[in-house]
Every structure is written in C-alpha cells, then in structure tokens.
Structure 1
Amino acid sequence: MSQNNLERADDEVRKEAPSIKFLTFNTWGLKWVSKYRKQRLRAIADELAGKSCSVPLPGIESSGADDRYDVVALQEIWCKEDWDYIAATCAEAFPYQRIFYSGILAGPGLAILSRIPIESTFLYRFPINGRPSAVHRGDWYVGKSVAITLLQPVDKMTHPVAIMNSHMHAPYALTGDAAYACHRSCQAWDFSKLANLYKKAGYAVIISGDLNSRPGSLPHKFLTMETGLVDSWEQLSGKQDLQVVARLNPLEQIKYGCTTCDSLLNTWRASRKPDEACRLDYALIDPERLQTTQAGVRFTNRLPNVGSFSDHFAYTCTLKLLPKKEPVTVDIASDSKDSRDLLLQRYANYDEMIQCLASYSVVAARQKFLRGVHFYFSILLLIGALVVTTFTANLAGWSSIFWVLFAVVVSITGTIDGMISFLFGRKETRALKEVEEEVLCAQRYMRTLLKEKTK
C-alpha cells in the first residue's frame, strides 16, 4: 500500500474514532463561606442531570439539558449533603461516581461523575501544601491532592483513559509569601511525575481541574513540558497572548480567551478589574492519544434570584480517542532544533524552580525558628507567671485569676507553635529539600544531554 493510501486509511480511522465529552468545574462549595451554596450546587446537579432551570447570557453558548457529558470532574465539593444530592440526582445520567475523602476536615473536595465504567481510583496527597497556621485559608487542612480515576477502555482500538483531577493550592496574592507560588510549583512537579507514570503504563492521560496557575506560569510549564501533554484549549485555538486577552471585553475574553475565573460576567466576580479575568481551569491531554475537536466555557448561565452557578465558569472539551499505534522510541538526544529548544526551556524551568525553592526555604526556616523561639519563651513566661502568682496572691487574691488565665493562654499558644515548629516545620523543610534534590538531579541529566547535542 502506498504512503498516500496509508495516510488516507489513518485519517479514516481517526474520523471514526470514539470520543468523550469532558467537563471540569470548580463548584465553590465552601460551607458558611460560599453564598447560596446549597441552591447553586443543587442547580449544578440538576443541570448535569438534564434539568435546566437557568437563564442564558446573550452571546454565549450556554450549558443546558442537551449537553450530554461523558465524564465530569468536580472540585470544591466539601459538604456531604451537597455530594449526596449530586450523586442521587445524577445517578441515572452518571451511574459511576466517586468522591475522595482524604483530608483533616472535609477532604480535598474532588469528585468524579462518569458514564464510562470506572476501573479503579487512587488519591495522591501533595506533601507540600500550605501551613497549618493558615487556618483562615484551609488548604493544608483539606489536604490538596490529585484524584486519579482510571476508566474502562472504550474499545480495543484505543487507549484507556486516566483522569487526573486536582485543585492545587490557591494564590492569595499575586506576589510574595501569600502567593504560594513555590507550593504550587512543587505540587506541579509531583503531578508531572504521576502523569508520566500513567503515560508509560499506556493510558491516555487527562490532567484536569482548577490548577490555580495561569498559562505560561512555572506550574503550567511543568505540567506540559515535563509530560508532553498539551493544553486542550490551545490545541484547538492556538497559543494566546494573555496581554491581548486582558484587553478584550468580557464576552470576547470568554469566547477567545476561555477565561473561567474572575470574569466580569460572573456575578460573584463582577467587582474585579477587566484585566484580572484569567484561565485557571484546564484539561491537559496527551496529543498522541487524544485530539480536541471542541472546547469552550460552560455554566455561564445565571440562576434566578441567585446569580452565577459558581465563582468559576466550567470548562468543557470533546476529545477524540486516537487509535493505538506501534510504540515509537524517541531519542531525546536527537539533533533536531525543536528537541534542543525544548531541553533548553526545561533547563530554564529547573533554574527558576531552584530559585523559587531557595527563596521560600528561607521563609520556611524563619517560620520554623520563630515558632520554636515562641515555644521556649512560653516556657519561661509560664515559670515567671507561677512565681509572680505566689507573691501577688497575698497582696490581692483576685490577681490569681488573671495569672491563671495568662498561664493558660501562654501554654496553649506556646504548645501549638511548638508542635508546628517541631513537627510541621521539620517536615516542610525536608520536603522542600527533597524536591530541590529531584530538580538538581534532573538538571544534571539535562546538562549531559545538552552537552551531547553540542558535540
């Protein structure tokens, strides 16, 4: 058979290949914090089950009862009553379901709904994920993770699908310590290693969820360059200039920039600046095994007397399952310019990561030291309070009550800070060192490859 005939035959197979319609959605399901939580999440469940009760926005392709998704990855499902309603309402449309429970408080908030049978599931908790002292933020307490769902193969001609759903650490500022850039970079580093394992095992990998990282950021680079995965939106629409997207009007930002977060068209983010709209929700896919045929923003409708479904919009893509091919051995040390450019980009990412780790390690060490100092200082204060009480009790009996309360406060705060310093502080600094060693090891190997290319 001629080369042209082979190519035509391959095109025909691709056209007939099965596809899955995928949706990822951050539902904003925080108890007591999220406004109209119960009404919104019940409306999301009804919409997924095919019962539309929302009002579409003019000029935007809206979600509706005719949207038949095959797999839905959800984030921020943190209340059991919400999940119970979703599971019951969507039982007929999505007979295969799973919510992930690991975490100190409410779990990572990750759930999966599927029409395709689920073969197995697995949860990987990120070792670097905020601090227990940031109680008001809660990332450490919910245990941010990667929820891995392996689906039953659709047919014998295509690869089985692995959905890797996550909600990475949130940024609470654009820069500085509250941005948690190092935490997300470490999470993306671990995430990329997991994705590579499932790729090598023969799965068509989809990294999905609210990754809290903009296109082109260091975590986004790790999740694409280290894995060979591509952004499904960019695969269909091409790479976009984020500065250009920031200057578009809100409707165009959704249509052409796929802005799922901080859009002015979202009622819960209407007070944001126009240039703050961004894309944080993704489906990163293996281009050798999956091909994007459609993609866009969903759940832009509004609920009467409530507002938007969530503080994020959902992202959907239709993915064609490409037929299996004979395994091809790729020589990463080949002399192609593209290969060398990719190695140089990855090497630059490693440099950026090492600088990020070095910067945050100083912060982590300082936090550990100060909390340790507080612990020892509390012991001295406690001893001092006991001594002072013996003298003041004879002069004014009521003062004993003050010193007892003082001793209680000092004991509690000192003990908490001591435990954070000795237990969490040591764990975090050692985990950071582990990531640094992994990156340095990868960088040394990359340096060897680059030297070979210059010969």
Structure 2
Amino acid sequence: MEEPPTEINIVTLNCWGLKFISKLRNERLVEIGRQLAQADPVPHIVALQECFCQEDYRSIRRETRFILPYGKFYYSGPFGGGLAILSKWPIDESSISPYPLNGRPTAFWRGDWYVGKGVASAKIRYGPGRKQVVEVFCTHTHSPYEGGQPNDSYLCHRMAQAWHISKLLRGAAERGHLVLALGDFNMLPMSPEHRLITAHAPVRDIWRVLHPDSSVGPADHPAEQARRRPVPTAEFNIVENGAASDGPYCTWRWTKSQQKLLGPGKPAVTVSPDTIDRHGKRLDYIFASSGDVTALNGGWVVKSTKVGMMMRHPELGCSLSDHFSLEATLAFHSFSASGSPQDSRNPPGAGAGAGAGAGAGAATTTATANTLKPDTATAVSSPTTITISDKQPIQNGTYLQSPTPSSVRDSKSFDSQLLSFLDLEREQRLGPGAYDDILATVHKYVAREESQKKWRGYHFFASLGVTVACLIGVWWSPRNYVAFILMLVSSLSLVAGTVDGLMSLLFFKAELGQLKEFEWEIMNAKLNAAGGEVSDRGSEVGTAERGGGDW
C-alpha cells in the first residue's frame, strides 16, 4: 500500500437529484461528476446526498473513476435514501443505519418517511497502520418544513436523528479512527441539534474551527438578529459564513423571470458580490475528529475549508444543484519530540482564505455599471453579461458594506487546534437545562402522537359503523342509483378507516416506542452530565419509565 497521506481532501454535496421533481437532473448530475473530476485540490473522499437514481450515480462514477475508483450507493426505504460515498481508497466495510424516528406517512406530500433517511457509513483504510482508518458517515436529516419554529412538529425528529448519528460518531472515535460526518443536516449552527452532535461525540464543526464568528442562521433568524451583526452581502455569506444554501448565487433561488434569462445561447448572468443576502444559511456540514493522537503520535487538523461547486452548467447556465458543496482539507499534524504539537505546515488561515476566495470568484464576475433588480428581471445594455444586484438600504439610509472576513485575521494554529481536540470531552457537554428542553420537546411530540393515535383509532371504528349502515341501506334501497352511491360510500369509508386503523396500530405505536427509547437515553445522559450516582439514576429513570407507561 502507498504511503499514508499527509492531507485528506473532502467534499460533501446535496445533488438535488429527485426523480421527476428536480429540474434538468440528468444534465446537472453529469456535470457534477465532471467538475469533481477536475477539482483542485483533487478530492479523496466525496459524500453525496439526494442522489436517488442509480443512473445518476453511475454517471458520476464514470466521470470520477480515475480519481475516486471506489464507491458505494446506499439502499434504504422504498425509494432509497439518496446517499453515496466515493473514495480514493478501498472501502473495507459499509453499512446504513436507518433513523428510528423519521417523518410520518400521514404527511404523504412530504417524502422523508418514504425515502428511508438514515446514516450511510464506510470504513476506509488510508494507510497500513492499525489506526490509519477513516470512518465516513454520510447523512441527510429530516427537512425543516416548518422552519424550526417553536411549534415545529418535526423538531423532535431532527433532535432524535442528531442524537442517533452522535452515538455512531462516538463509537467510531472510541475505536481510535479518524471520524468524518458529512451531509445536509438541515440544521442551523449552534442550534439544539447542532449542539447535540458536538456535545456527545468528539468531533468539531470544521467551519467554526476556522470561522468561529460565523453566523448562526440567516439574517432574519432570531438567533442571528440577537448577535446584532450587519446584514451580510452575498460574497461575505459565502466566504465567512459558509452559507451554501438559499443564497442569491444559486439560480434555483431566483424568480421565474430571472431564470428565463438562463439557457443555451443566452448571455451570461452574474450576481454582484455586494448583493444583500438575507436568506443564505448553512445547512451542510463537515464534522471531524482528530483520530487516535496517542497511537499516531499526532492528529488531523483543519487546514482549509470553503464553499465550492458554485460554477454554472456550461450550456444551461443554471447552478449545478440547489446547494453548493462544502469542501475541506485536513492535514496530519505530528507531535514534536518534547511531546507537544509541532506546527510544521502553513497556518490554516492562509489555506482557508485562498480557498474561500477562489470559491466565491468561481460564481461571480466584476459588477458592471448596469444592474438588474431581482424583482424586475429585464435585459440590460451589455450584450454579453447581465449582472443581478440587490443593494437594499438599511433603516438609517446607508448601504451595507461587507465586513472583513475572518480568513484575513489570525486563525488558530495547528498546535492549538490539536490541543483543543484533545479536550473535547471536557469542553463540550450540554447542561441540565438543555436536556430538559429536549425532554420537553419529546413530551410535547408524544402528546401530539398520542392524540393522533387515538383519533385515527376512533376513525377506524366509525368507518366500520358507516360501512354497516350503508350495507343495510343497500338492502332496503330501491334498485336505482341510490344503492350504487351507498356502496361507493361504504367502500371509500372502509378503505380510509382501515388505513387510519393500521397507522394507529402499527406506525404510531412503533413511533411512541422509539420516543420512549429516546427519552430514556436523554434522561440517562442528563444524569451522567450532572454526575449522578447509580442509585439516583435508577430512581429517576424508573420514574421516567413509569410515567412513560401512560403513553
């Protein structure tokens, strides 16, 4: 086997490859494969989400076969989980762990329950040493359909999924392997779901390692507003905040009138870097551990990270996905002879700044004097370039200026990174209040599902009554259309009632069982965090179990 690498280049991308739903799917995913094959630096590990069709996966594999010869497409649920992992090195083991709590079949217009979301994992050996192994976890958690508001009925799902993947990450880290968690987590930085992962697994959100002051949500989100920061520009949101989703650079977020400007043979349409961006946010993440520092006499640190894959389709002019990629380079950092970390490479700030700037430049050109307001997409005088800009004045009448990105400030050295990685267990642990908030969310959701279970059971028995009544009516009705209507009502009522009855008996009962498990684990973690003794734990958990019996 070749010498172990000193750097590992990582890419994660939500491809937006839903069959029959995603526009221009085939063309876009082929181009995604081409761009991965041409990427600089050359990627070593790639995680894909929403790659639901095997033909799209095979297209990407054909384009990347020389740099990423190994790959795995994961099957889960009736329609697949949309997850895939590509690698430069052989995949020794692979598995997929479905999320115990994931969507509801009652929300049939939403696809989360049907696609069977979960965590795809691959164990990849990058060197001959026993601990020279990276365990890659790729996921796409439940979509935030209700915006993460206090009454968001899917918040409990995302919390349970964050808890589930954190347990997998912790297990891999305890085996002494380098751990990578990649994907579209559908959560905001420093949200409860985000803190669950970083508190219960020895991993770090690598973007916040190099950009600790980056945003915690879109400009209008309450948590971000509480920081009292200026509304960011589009360029700043890419370079500093890592906002790979919902920003103005993505053509799939444009109005229909703007999208009509795109297409074969039409002039290039660019976005001014100083466009005000109120909606861009970070949903895509790379979480990483440092590996077994003792066994390897060193560990993995974050050299650079950036938002990538911002280029447009060369013929269609559209963005390659409704997300941009998140990319990173991890560097192996050795201990010195004295037993302290030895910083022998370039500081991470230089790599991060260069990479981020390149990522932003790939999607922008110099702004022209002629601008186009996003709500009035009309042609301008330039024959070859159209620039879209949205410079909106703030309340005091001035225009926002892009703040200085953190990439030009002093970043953490590799030494301090490695030392902080060693102290993850002590630094990152949720307080009892956070566990109480999770338990309150669980109890609120349990009450909702109990109500649903009860009323759907009532509907089943009511449908039986309607069916019997209709059949009696058919017996006494004259031989005309009345009998037909009664039979139709009887059949429809019985079908609807049977479906609800099965959901009440099977789905809701199973879901409530998973919620019991989740509640017990959170209660146990709360007691461990508080330093409770076994006797205290036993009495408190026993109380929780007795209370859970009323579910």
Which bin holds the TM-score, normalised by the shorter protein? 0.7 to 0.9
**Distance change in 2, residues 1:371/1:430 (3 Å):** same
In the TM superposition, residue 176 of structure 1 has moved relative to its aligned partner by: 5.6
CA RMSD after TM alignment: 2.5
| 2:318 is the counterpart of 1:307 | yes
- Name the structure 2 match of 1:56: none
Would the alpha carbon gap of residues 407 and 338 (structure 1) be closer, same or farther in structure 2, given more than 3 Å must change? closer
Q: What corresponds to 1:35 in structure 2?
A: 23
Shift of 1:162: 0.7
Distance 2:426 2:87 in 1: 40
Find the residue that maps to 2:157 and give its secondary structure: helix
- The offset of 1:142, in angstroms, is 0.8
Q: 1:17 to 1:108 in 2, by over 3 A?
A: closer
Q: How does 1:30-69 map to 2 (within 5 A)?
A: 30-50=18-38, 65-69=39-43
- Alpha-carbon contact 2:473-2:483 (below 8 Å) kept: no
Q: Is the 8 A contact 1:36 1:306 kept in 2?
A: no
Q: 1:276 aligns with which of 267, 274, 279?
A: 279
- Number of residues of Structure 1 aligned to a counterpart in Structure 2: 408
Over 3 Å counting, the alpha-carbon distance change for 1:340 and 1:206 in structure 2 is closer
Distance 1:183 1:199 in 2: 24
Q: What displacement does 1:399 show?
A: 1.7
Structure 1's 99 and 400: CA in aligned 2 closer, same or farther, altered over 3 A?
A: same
State which of 313, 320, 342 in structure 1 corresponds to 2:331.
320
Q: Which segment drifts farther, 65-74 or 110-119?
A: 65-74
Look up the equivalent residue of 1:126 and give its one-letter code: Y
Look up the match of 1:21. 9
Q: Is the 8 A contact 1:25 1:75 kept in 2?
A: yes
Q: Which residue of structure 2 aligns with residue 433 of structure 1? A: 516
- Shift in Å, 1:290: 2.1
Question: In the alignment, residue 199 of structure 1 is paired with which amino acid?
Answer: A
Distance 2:186 2:229 in 1: 18
Structure 1 residues 69 and 434 mapped into 2: Cα distance closer, same or farther (>3 Å)? same
1:135 to 80, 83, 108: 108
Task: Tell me the equivalent position of 2:212.
Answer: 238
* Structure 1 Cα separation of the partners of residues 186 and 440 of structure 2: 20
Amino acid at match of 1:147: A
Of 291, 306, 312, which residue of structure 1 is paired with 2:301?
Answer: 291
Give the 3-state SS of the residue equivalent to 2:531 in structure 1: helix
Find the residue that maps to 2:530 and give its secondary structure. helix
What is the distance in 2 between the residues matched to 1:339 and 1:417?
Answer: 46
Amino acid at match of 1:371: R
Unaligned runs of 5+ in 1: 1-15, 51-64, 327-336, 451-455
Q: Which amino acid aligns with 2:454?
A: F
Native 8 Å contact 2:308 2:324 kept in 1: yes
Equivalent positions of 1:187-266 (< 5 A) are 187-242=161-216, 243=224, 247-266=231-250
With over 3 angstroms needed to count, the CA separation of the structure-2 counterparts of 1:379 and 1:176, relative to structure 1, is farther
CA deviation profile, 1:136-187 (whole Å, cap 9, x unmatched): 1110111111011111133539631111110000010222665511101001
In the other structure, the counterpart of 2:373 is none
Quick check: 1:364–1:425 contact (8 Å CA) kept in 2?
A: yes
Instruction: For 1:25, give the aligned amino acid.
Output: L
1:373 aligns with 2:458: yes
2:211, 2:241 within 8 Å by CA — same for their partners in 1? no
Matched, 1:353 2:438: yes
Distance in structure 1 (CA, Å) of the matches to 2:462 and 2:335 = 65
Structure 1 residue 339, shift from structure 2 partner: 7.7
Secondary structure of the structure 2 residue equivalent to 1:409: helix
Letter of the structure 2 residue corresponding to residue 292 of structure 1: V
The Cα of 1:338 is off from its aligned counterpart by 10
TM-score (norm 1): 0.84
Question: In percent, how many aligned pairs have the same letter?
Answer: 31
In 2, the alpha carbon distance for the partners of 1:38 and 1:29 equals 8
SS at match of 2:278: helix
Paired letter, 2:332? L
Give per-residue Cα distances to partners, 1:73-99, cap 9 Å, x unaligned. Answer: 000011122122222232222110100
Tell me how far apart the structure 1 counterparts of residues 234 and 465 of structure 2 sit (CA, whole Å). Answer: 58
- Higher relative contact order (CA closer than 8 Å, sequence separation 6+): 1
